[in-house]
Amino acid sequence: MSEVGRVNASGLKPVAFVHGLWLLPSSWQPWREMFEAAGYATLAPGWPDDPATVAEGRAHPELFARKRIKQVADHLQDVLERLNVRPALVGHSFGGLLVQQLAGRGIAAATVAIDPAPFRGVLPLPFPALKSAWPVIGNPANYRRSVMLTLEQFRYSFANELGANESQRLYDELVVPASGVPLFQAATANVNPFTEAKTDSRTPRRGPLLLITGEKDHIAAPAIAKAAYRKQKRNKAVTRYLEIPGRGHSLVFDHGWRDVADPALAFIKEHG
């Protein structure tokens, strides 16, 4: 909550960054520095029980287990509603789904969802996405566990467009275990009418939305983001779609992160 107090005291427009599975809030640090240099106050609220460091997360994988989509969304809403001004939201992967849910609840001044996880009504399930999720959903017992990716699995799912050295460095510096529940929830969203993997894409409270995807993403392939765009563009608010050529799921934290951060910042400046 200290971040909320700092942002409120600043008097600046707030931007909140939401991470996805296998990462921590610290993965957004370069983005935060860039947005703060542009005149915004930033915060990166974690998921419930997020540890402070990657080392602590790897030492205590139980901290991540059993975190459900609605539990995380409700936690984030509780944090963001303490801000004096509605924030712009930026989310990646499952964070991209979460910020769309929060926008549908009227929390956001503007929203950027990057390589977002699918929600109910998004039908494509490309093979690379299924293969990326298989280390978790391939074992039903993982529903109640946290799961750590191996380096090989990380290279396929996140870093397929990166060299071996950069993949190793990012894996060592950023990757932590992740709750298995959200992947099971997303995988069954279209057959479960009570799923938590859903969003209100038509409400006038949603506000402006930019969907960004990487052309070579394995986890959230462009077909998933395009299907989300087709759902979201029915909203009366501005809805835009951008595909970044030659980029995989690591696009927000690898060497080319500015290619994504620049259009995200431009959209928030224009619409936030």
Question: Which domains, ranges and CATH numbers included, belong to the chain?
Answer: 2-271 (3.40.50.1820)
pTM: predicted TM-score of the whole model, two decimal places? 0.97
d(CA 17, CA 257): 14
The encoded tokens of residue 224 equal 């998933």
Residue ranges, the chain, pLDDT below 70:
1
Query: Which residues 6+ apart lie within 8 Å of 156 measured at CB?
Result: 131, 132, 218
Reference 35, options 9, 62, 7; nearest CA is 7
Tokens (6 digits) for 253:
């934290």
Task: Say what the pLDDT of residue 94 is.
Answer: 98
Q: Which residue has the tokens 């509603």?
A: 81
Nearest 5°: CA angle at 207, between 43 and 257? 45
Contact call for residues 240 and 270 (beta carbons, < 8 A): no
